[in-house]
A and B are shown apart, each in its own frame.
Chain A
Amino acid sequence: MLMWAQLITFVCMLGTFLLFAAALKLPPALATAGAAVVGLAVSGNIGSLYHLIEGAFGYFDVILIIAMAMVFMAALEAAGILEEISYRITRQLGNKPLLLSLASMVLVMLPGMLTGSSTAAAMTTGRFVLPVLVNAGIAPARAGAFVALGSIIGMIAPPVNVPVMIIGSGIDMPYVGFDIPLLLLSVPAAIAVSIWVVAGINKEPSGDKLEPGQAAPAGASERIPGFKVYIPIIALLAMMLAVRLSKGSIPDPGIPFMFAAGALLAMVCGRPIKLWDTIVDGIGMAMPVMGVLVGAGMFVQVMTVTGVRGLLVTSALDIPIAWIFVVAALALPLFGAISAYASSSVMGVPILLALLGNDEIVTAAALSMLAAIGDLLPPIAIVPSLISQSSGEGPDFRSELLRQAAVPIFCLVLWAFAVLRWAPAIGRLL
C-alpha cells in the first residue's frame, strides 16, 4: 500500500514536470520546482514547504562553480580571447578538415570541461565554431549536431564533471581518481565525432570566408598578439593540477576561487573590458543552469522526503544484475531529458548502489555520460535548442539537428553502456 502511495507521487511529479516543460513550455527550473510542490501536495506534505528551501541547497557547491565558471567564460569572450583562439585555429587549419574538426572539438569541449555544463560550451565556443565548420563545407545541421555532441562530451570530460560529483555525493564518494576513466570515455568519443563530421563535408570550403579578415576579430588592430591569450586557460589548468598533484602541500582554494582568479587574469590578457558588465553577463548566462540545479535539488529533496527515492533505490536493487545495465542505458538518458543533473541524482545513485562491487569509479563515470546524453534529447533538448537559437537558421533547424545527431547519440549510449558493462575489467586495466 505504501509503495503505491510513493508510485502515485512519482507519477504525479513526472506528469507535472512534463506538463510544465513540454506542454506549457516553462523553463526546466520552474518545471522541476513545480513538480516538487505537486509531489509535496500529493503525498500530504504540503505543510512542509521548508523542504523546498532545504532542497535548494542540494547542489549549492555546483551552483557556485557554474556561476564563477560562467564569469570566467564571459571574461574570455569579452576580452576577445575565445575569438582570437578560434581565429588562429581557422587560419592554421582551414584547409585541413580533419585537423580543423579535431581542433574545433577541443574548443567546443573546453568550456564544458572547465564548468561541467554542456550549456556553457554551447553558448560560448560553440557559437564561434559553428560558422567556422559551415564555412569549411559542412552542412549547418550537421555542424550544429557536432557542436551539440562536443558540448556533451566536454561536459563529461575532466577536470570538472558535475554529474559524477552529484552521483558521488549520493554515496559519499569523493571526486578523486576520475580523470583517467573520464578521459577514456570522452577522448575516443570526441575523435569519433570529429571523424563523423568530416565525413559529412559535401561541398568545397568557401575559401573567401576563411580569409583571416572574415573570421578575425572585428579588425586587425583588435587582434591580440602573442602567447598571452592562452595564459588564463593555462593558469586555470595549472592551479587545478597543482592542487591535485601536491597531495595536500598546496592548500586547495576550491574550484570557484580558481575560476574567479582566471577571470581576473583574462581581464588583463585580452582587450580591455568592463569588469562589472562582464560579471553580470556571466551570471546572466549561468542563471538558467543555476535555476535547474535549484529546481533539481527541490525535486530530489521531495523525492527523498516522500519515499519515492527509496522506492527507486529498492526497485533498482531488485533488478537482476544482467538487466541493470539495460535499465541504466535507457533510464538515465530518458530521465536526463528532464535534467542531466536530476537524472544523475535520481537514477544514477540507485543504479550505482545496485552495482556496488563493480569498479565504482568507472561505473559512475559511465553513468555520468548516460545522464549527460539526456541534455540532447527531446522534449527539452536544451543543448540543441540553444544552438538552434544562436544559429539563426530558422524554426526547423533544431529538428534537423536532432535528426543528424541521432546515430552519433546512439553510438555514445552504446559506448557508455560498454564501459558500464565491463567496468571491473576496465578498472583493473587503468
Chain B
Amino acid sequence: MTYFKLATASWLTPIYLLMLAVTVVAVAVNILREEKLSSQIVGGMVLIPLVLRLLLVK
C-alpha cells in the first residue's frame, strides 16, 4: 500500500517506474546473453541502483 502511494505520488512517477522496469528487464536480458564474465558483472553492478530505485527502497 505504501509502495502504491509512493508510486503514484505524481503523474510522472508511474511513467518513470515503467521506464525503470523496462530498463531492468532489458539489462537482465543482456546479462543472460553476454558470454564474458566481466560484462556480466558490469551488468550486475548496473542492476543494483536500478532495482533498488524500482522498489523505491532508495
Contact = CB atoms under 8 A, between A and B. Distances in A.
A63 B23 CA distance: 11
A291 B30 contact: no
Interface of B is mostly: helix
Nearest to B18: A260
B48 A53 contact: yes
A56 B45 contact: yes
B29 to A, nearest CB: 5
A295 interface: yes
A257 B16 contact: yes
A26 B16 CA distance: 32
Nearest to B24: A283
B48 A253 contact: no
Nearest to B48: A56
Contacts of A253: 12, 15
A284 B30 contact: yes
A286 to B, nearest CB: 9
A257 B15 CA distance: 8
A64 B30 contact: no
Given A64-B19, A279-B22, A30 B41 contact: yes
Nearest to A292: B42
A33 B46 CA distance: 11
Interface in A237-273: 253-254, 256-257, 260
A130 interface: no
Contact of A256 (B16, B26, B33, B39): B16
A257 B18 CA distance: 11
A291 B42 contact: yes
A287 interface: yes
B16 A29 contact: no
Contact of B26 (A26, A63, A279, A294): A279
A27 B43 CA distance: 11
Interface in B3-36: 12, 15-16, 19-20, 22-23, 26-27, 29-30, 33
A254 B46 contact: no
A136 interface: no
B16 A254 contact: yes
B52 interface: yes
Interface string B44-58: 011011101100001
Contacts of A372: none
A68 B19 contact: yes
B2 interface: no
Given A288-B42, A290-B46, A280 B53 contact: no
Contacts, number: 75
B27 to A, nearest CB: 6
Given A56-B48, A279-B22, A284-B30, A29 B53 contact: no
Contacts of B30: 280, 283-284, 287
A67 interface: yes
B52 to A, nearest CB: 7
A56 B19 contact: no
Contacts of B41: 30
Contacts of B39: 27, 287-288
Interface string A329-368: 0000000000000000000000000000000000000000
Contacts of B49: 53, 56-57, 60, 63, 294
Contacts of B50: 63
Interface string A275-319: 000011011100110110011000000000000000000000000
B21 to A, nearest CB: 11
Given A26-B38, A257-B15, A280-B29, A33 B45 contact: yes
Given A30-B42, A254-B12, A291-B43, 11 more contacts: A27-B39, A30-B45, A33-B45, A57-B52, A64-B23, A254-B16, A257-B16, A280-B30, A283-B23, A287-B39, A294-B46
- Pick the 9 closest A-B CB pairs, nearest first: A283-B26, A291-B42, A56-B49, A284-B30, A29-B42, A290-B46, A294-B45, A280-B26, A57-B49
17 contacts: A30-B45, A53-B52, A57-B52, A60-B49, A67-B23, A256-B16, A256-B19, A260-B19, A279-B26, A284-B26, A284-B33, A287-B27, A287-B30, A287-B46, A290-B46, A294-B49, A295-B45
